[in-house]
Amino acid sequence: MAKKEVSTDQLITTILEGIEEVKGQNIDLLDLREIENMVCDYFIVCNGTSNTQVTAIVNSIQKTVSKKLKDKPWHVEGTQNAEWVLMDYVHVVVHVFQKHIREYYDIESLWGDAKVTSIESNY
């Protein structure tokens, strides 16, 4: 049986559910589709308060996406110290930071041409 294709919108919604499940903070969705030579369509950026919460966010995203969409990231890096974890779902790349690391790198400003949508949390 062929694998069902997951839409980018479904993937984004499911990733956001995973982040919110463990109270990830300051969630931003960056639409990169109008920027030339980008390797993906969207960034999702959020942060946790500690390496424990960053790890919990990453695990929650993986579990939620796997359970609901039967999909997994193509690549994950940064889990060793959990200060900045990158999860590559091909069309969507998730960046999960500790707050001070996110402020230091300020990747949102690097992609200033991207349309940024801040996601309101339900908590």
| Averaged pLDDT for residues 47-62 | 97
Domain that includes residue 97, residue range? 8-109
Q: Is residue 22 part of a domain?
A: yes
Q: Is residue 93 part of a domain?
A: yes
Q: Is residue 118 part of a domain?
A: no
Q: Report yes or no: 99 and 25 within 8 Å, Cβ to Cβ.
A: yes
Say which CATH number the domain at 82 has: 3.30.460.10
Q: Is residue 35 part of a domain?
A: yes
Confidence of residue 4 (pLDDT cuts 50, 70, 90): low
Whether the per-residue pLDDT at 58 is higher than 60: the answer is yes
Whether the per-residue pLDDT at 1 is higher than 50: the answer is no
Measured CA to CA, the distance from residue 19 to residue 122 in angstroms comes to 11
Number of domains in the chain: 1
What are the pLDDT digits (tens) for 16-33? 999 999 999 999 999 999
Report the predicted TM-score, pTM, of the whole model to 2 decimal places: 0.92
Q: Report yes or no: 42 and 54 within 8 Å, Cβ to Cβ.
A: no
What are the pLDDT digits (tens) for 78-91? 999 999 999 999 99
